[in-house]
Amino acid sequence: MATLFSPSALFSTTSSSSSTTTTKPSKAPLPKPQLTLKPPPPPTTNLIVTLTATAAALVLTTTPPSLADPPKSYNIYYGTAASAANYGGYGGNSNKQDSAEYVYDVPDGWKERLVSKVEKGTNGTDSEFYNPKKKSEKEYLTYLAGFRQLAPKDVVLNNLALSDVSLQDLIASADSVKSEEKKDETGQVYYVYEIDGVGAHSLISVTCAKNKLYAHFVNAPAPEWTRDKDTLRHLHESFKTVGSF
């Protein structure tokens, strides 16, 4: 069996066969086409495309902030509660800090109104600031000398209204009048009033210190109150007498 499959036998058979048979040359096999695989885009490319599309969608769908309501910043006003005889008239508060008896915040852009000696002597108005876009949106402080302590809340409010015709009218037409007694961290008592009228809103804070009664008012027409109530409440809550903050 080993000789039947020997190499010499295999070659001799092939040689004999080729002498009697014409063999058709075979075609060489066609080369296989080479496939060039394009690598997938790197993950960062897809991420950038996705983020860009998302940002574009946000620009198209997000409502831009209102230019009419920028973030508020405030300045501290130092009030001296000077008597009419010693009152120096309109001016800045840069030299008042050392002699200040009370403080409150004033929004950037609000204007100080000149308080005359006559006005100071009759109703005790010591300072006033207003929104130049709507002058009836304002804050001001009045004081009266000779008060060692606060009377009952309703008595105090009625006495304030006696010298303020606008306050009388607001109380008379009010939908609600709220009053509350609060104490600060030093134990000083403040009466807090909120008057919700048909056409206007008022926040009042009253306290006694240094033998004086101080009343801080924040007033606004109804539309301005609805728009600016957070700012107006901030002004209301910023009022303090010196020595209690």
Q: Can you tell me the distance from the alpha carbon of 43 to that of 136, in angstroms, rounded to the nearest whole number?
A: 60
Number of domains in the chain: 1
Is 57 inside any structural domain? no
DSSP, res 117: H
Relative to beta strand 240-241, strand 174-183 is: unpaired
Is 45 inside any structural domain? no
CB-CB neighbours of 213 under 10 Å: 22
Is 177 inside any structural domain? yes
Is 142 inside any structural domain? yes
- Evaluate if pTM is beyond 0.85: no
Is 15 inside any structural domain? no
Question: In 15-133, which ranges are E strands?
Answer: 74-79, 102-107, 111-112, 125-131
Is 54 inside any structural domain? no
CATH number for the domain including 122?
A: 3.40.1000.10
Closest CA to 83 of 128, 126, 127: 126
By residue range, what is the domain housing residue 200?
74-241
Is 152 inside any structural domain? yes
Is 6 inside any structural domain? no
**Along the 245 residues of the chain, how does pLDDT read in single tens digits?**
444 344 444 334 443 334 344 444 555 555 555 555 555 555 555 554 454 555 444 444 444 443 445 557 999 999 999 876 665 544 444 467 889 999 999 999 999 999 998 888 888 999 999 999 999 999 999 999 999 999 999 999 999 999 899 999 999 999 999 999 999 999 999 999 999 998 999 999 999 999 999 999 999 999 999 999 999 999 999 999 997 55
Q: Can you tell me the distance from the alpha carbon of 132 to that of 110, in angstroms, rounded to the nearest whole number?
A: 6
Q: Can you tell me the distance from the alpha carbon of 236 to that of 230, in angstroms, rounded to the nearest whole number?
A: 10
Closest CA to 212 of 169, 243, 174, 245: 243
